[in-house]
Structure 1
Amino acid sequence: MRLLFAGTPHAAVPSLEALIASRHDVVAVLTRADAPAGRGRTLVPSPVRVAAEAAGIPVVTDVPRGDDFLTLLRDLDIDAAPVVAYGHLLRPDVLAVPRHGWVNLHFSLLPAWRGAAPVQRAIIAGDEITGATTFLLDEGMDTGPVLGTMTETIRPRDTSGDLLDRLAHAGAGLLVATLDGLEDGALHPQPQPADGVSLAAKLTTADAHIDFRDPALAVDRLIRGCTPAPGAWTTVPGPDGAPARLGLGPVAARPDVTDLGAGELRPGKREVLVGTATHAVQLGLVQPVGKKPMAAADWARGARLGDDVLLGTQEGAR
């Protein structure tokens, strides 16, 4: 089949590469326009654009609105448009152009976790199983009929980055198999069930704030779900006593330590413990404002913290 691939981030690149290597013909790639990044706000192409240009495939960055885009799309004479994390909603007249529709690869078992952050939300919720779904886009938010699924275990120490990487590579095979099945006439879309719907709203910086008054299990899941983006953080007293931000990497459970109050810090030579509503956790990498990530013990030595420091409260200290 003649394909237009639509995608933007790193997680979409394995699918593009798998489709290029398949029996299908990727005639063009649709991705978001170059975006400013870094302190200099230099325009940077999307990972999908970089991969497409390396393969010699024409790239389209037009916003999918207006008659010009519709004309361009029709001129491509495509059979299907596979989509992986493209980043724009599509109008009904655009959805109607490909003969076999827009085939979206979504990183959850629909109808669970419809929306922008399915992998992060699954980890935060404590799900043990997730997966990926291919389905036909319609006007709703991840509501179209299902074509194929695959499952993936969420491991106890998975971050959202770890899990997304596995799903991106395994899901690429599912996407290719789905397009093969559509071309062969072996697949028939099935409506999503009405039960089991959950929503996966995009995580904000505020969502990633860690409050150590929560149970240790909730702290662990939230940090892992927010790693690497948007990045978990808490508060610690700054040089002037005001709360300063401290980025957090995944923690280790310490159920053997129950004598620390919520947010109470216990720095040691090789470890830094902090209390929660249940038991302590051991901090891993931390990142003070304006500095690179470092081992928690190194941070604690340099910060010269007092015995009365509390993490993750509005006040930052007792």
Structure 2
Amino acid sequence: MRLIVAGSPAAAVPTLTALAATEHEIVRVITRPATPQGRKRVLTPTPVAVEAERLDLPVITARRLSEIGHELLTLTVDLGVIVAFGALVREPLLSWPRLGWINLHFSLLPRWRGAAPVQHAVIAGDAQTGATVFQLTEGLDEGDWYARLTTPIGAHRTAGSLLDELSRSGADLVREVVDSLAAGTAVAQRQQGAVTVAPKLGRDDAALRWTEPAEAVHARLRGVTPEPGAFTLWGDQAIKVLEAAIARDAAALPAGTVRREGGRVLVGTATQPLELLRVQPAGKPAMAAADWARGLPADRDPVFS
């Protein structure tokens, strides 16, 4: 088939790579424009754009598909494949490919429809997550699904590590669905179950809430790692919390209270303390929490808010 592939972040790269290795023809790759990155604000193309160039595939950049609709409608395409492009597909482009569009979504739809499904699944304490390939419709992640896979979340994995795994296993799932659509054997099923929504996370979502139970604080930390990145406030300073573990063997502490015990740095929650392992104070590099704690007052226990 003649395919159009739309995506932007690293999570979309394995799907592009997998489809480029098939007998199907990728007519165009659509991705978002280059953006300034890093302290020096260097204009940087998306990971999908970089991979498309490596594969010698033609690329179109756009913030919205409607910006390039006239150009796209001149092409003959059998199927559109979209993975984390970052914009909705509207008519007439939605029904422009002969078989419409399929979308790789990193959740077990209809649970966690929206922009940040893996992050919300981890924060909510879900036992498992997964990936679903479904038919794109005008509604938000509402279309019938062709294939899915599941993976356990576990007690220690971050949203970043899960998304990396799902982007690779999900690419194989997309390839299988594309092949079945080409062969005319694909069968779609309606989504069933309770609908939950996973909007994009902001800074407020990344703030650790020490008055919650340890499991909830730890789940939030893992769910916002690496983006937008967990943090807490010490006075007026924001401290990023990069890694922590539930200290099940430690005595309870008042919520937010920081205490050094035998080389460990503990923070109180509503239940067991959390042990800080790696942090990044404002304006400084990441460091072991024990190294950061050497600068704390010796005569009192600081308190995070």
TM-score normalised by length of structure 1: 0.92
* Aligned match of 1:203: 201
Question: Shift of residue 41 of structure 1?
Answer: 2.2
Deviation at 1:190, TM superposition (A): 2.3
**In structure 2, C-alpha distance between the alignment counterparts of 1:89 and 1:185, rounded to whole Å:** 27
- Does the residue aligned with 1:65 lie in a helix, a strand or coil? helix
Is 1:65 aligned to 2:62, yes or no? Answer: no
CA contact (8 A) 2:257 2:301 kept: yes
Fraction of identical pairs, as percent: 46
1:163 and 1:209 map into 2 onto residues whose CA distance is 21
Match of 2:272 in 1: 279
C-alpha contact (below 8 Å) 2:35/2:44 kept by paired residues: yes
**Cα distance, 1:258–1:65 mapped onto 2, change above 3 Å:** same
Match of 2:245 in 1: 252
SS at 1:94 equivalent = coil
Corresponding residue SS for 2:73: helix
Kindly report the root-mean-square deviation, in angstroms, between the aligned alpha carbons of the 2 structures.
1.4
Q: Secondary structure at the match of 1:92?
A: coil
Within 5 Å, give how 1:137-156 maps onto structure 2. Answer: 137-156=136-155
Which residue of structure 2 lines up, in the alignment, with residue 5 of structure 1?
5
Q: Distance in 2 between matches of 1:305 and 1:102?
A: 61
Separation in structure 2 between the aligned mates of residue 306 and residue 93 of structure 1, nearest angstrom: 68
Q: Is the 8 A contact 1:265 1:307 kept in 2?
A: no
The aligned counterpart of 2:284 is 291
Within 1, Cα distance between the matches of 2:259 and 2:295? 14
Does the 8 Å CA contact 1:220/1:250 hold for their aligned counterparts? no
Query: Is the contact between residue 212 and residue 270 of structure 2 (CA under 8 Å) also seen in structure 1?
Result: yes
Q: 1:74 deviation in Å?
A: 2.7
Deviates more, 1:101-110 or 1:33-42: 33-42
Hey, what does 2:98 align to over in structure 1? 99
Are the equivalent residues in 2 in contact too, given 1:258–1:275 (CA < 8 A)?
no
Output the CA distance in 1 between the equivalents of 2:266 and 2:45: 41
SS at match of 1:162: helix
Unpaired segments ≥5 residues, structure 1: 238-242, 314-318
State the distance in 1 between where 2:238 and 2:14 align: 35
Aligned residue for 1:82, secondary structure, equals strand
| 3-state DSSP of counterpart to 2:271 | coil
Residue 269 of structure 1: CA displacement?
5.7
Equivalent residue, structure 2, for 1:114: 113
CA contact (8 A) 2:243 2:279 kept: no
1:240 matched to which residue of 2? none
Cα separation, 1, equivalents of 2:174 and 2:8:
16
Counterpart of 1:172? 171
Instruction: Specify the alignment match of 2:43 in structure 1.
Output: 43
Per-residue displacement from partner, 1:193-214 (whole Å, max 9, x unpaired)?
Answer: 2x31110011111111012111
Counterparts of 1:31 and 1:246, CA distance in 2: 34
1:248 CA displacement: 0.4
> Which ranges in structure 2 are unaligned for 5 or more consecutive residues?
none
Determine the C-alpha separation between the residues in 1 that align with 2:298 and 2:240.
16
2:221 aligned partner, one-letter code: I
Aligned partner letter, 2:210: F
Cα deviation 1:58-91 (Å, max 9, x = unaligned) = 100133115xx23321333111111100011111
Q: Are the structure 2 counterparts of residues 49 and 156 from structure 1 closer, same or farther at C-alpha, using a change threshold of 3 Å?
A: same
The CA distance in 2 between the partners of 1:236 and 1:141, in whole Å, is 39
Deviations 1:123-171 (A, max 9, x none): 0111111111011111111111111111111122100011001100000
Paired residues in the alignment total 304
CA contact (8 A) 2:73 2:93 kept: no
- The C-alpha deviation readout for 1:272-298, integer Å capped at 9, x for no partner, is 111111011110110101111110000
Question: Structure 2 matches for 1:114-133, cutoff 5 A?
Answer: 114-133=113-132
Deviates further, 258-267 or 134-143 = 258-267
Name the stretch that deviates more: 2-11 or 149-158: 149-158
Secondary structure in 2 matching 1:19: helix
**Aligned residue identity for 1:265:** V
Q: Give, in whole Å, the separation in 2 of the partners of 1:137 and 1:178.
A: 13
User: Alignment partner of 2:131: what SS?
Assistant: strand
Report if aligned partners of 1:272, 1:282 keep a CA contact under 8 Å in 2. yes
Aligned to 1:220: 218
- CA contact under 8 A between 2:107 and 2:130: conserved in structure 1? yes
- Structure 1 position 42, deviation (Å): 2.3
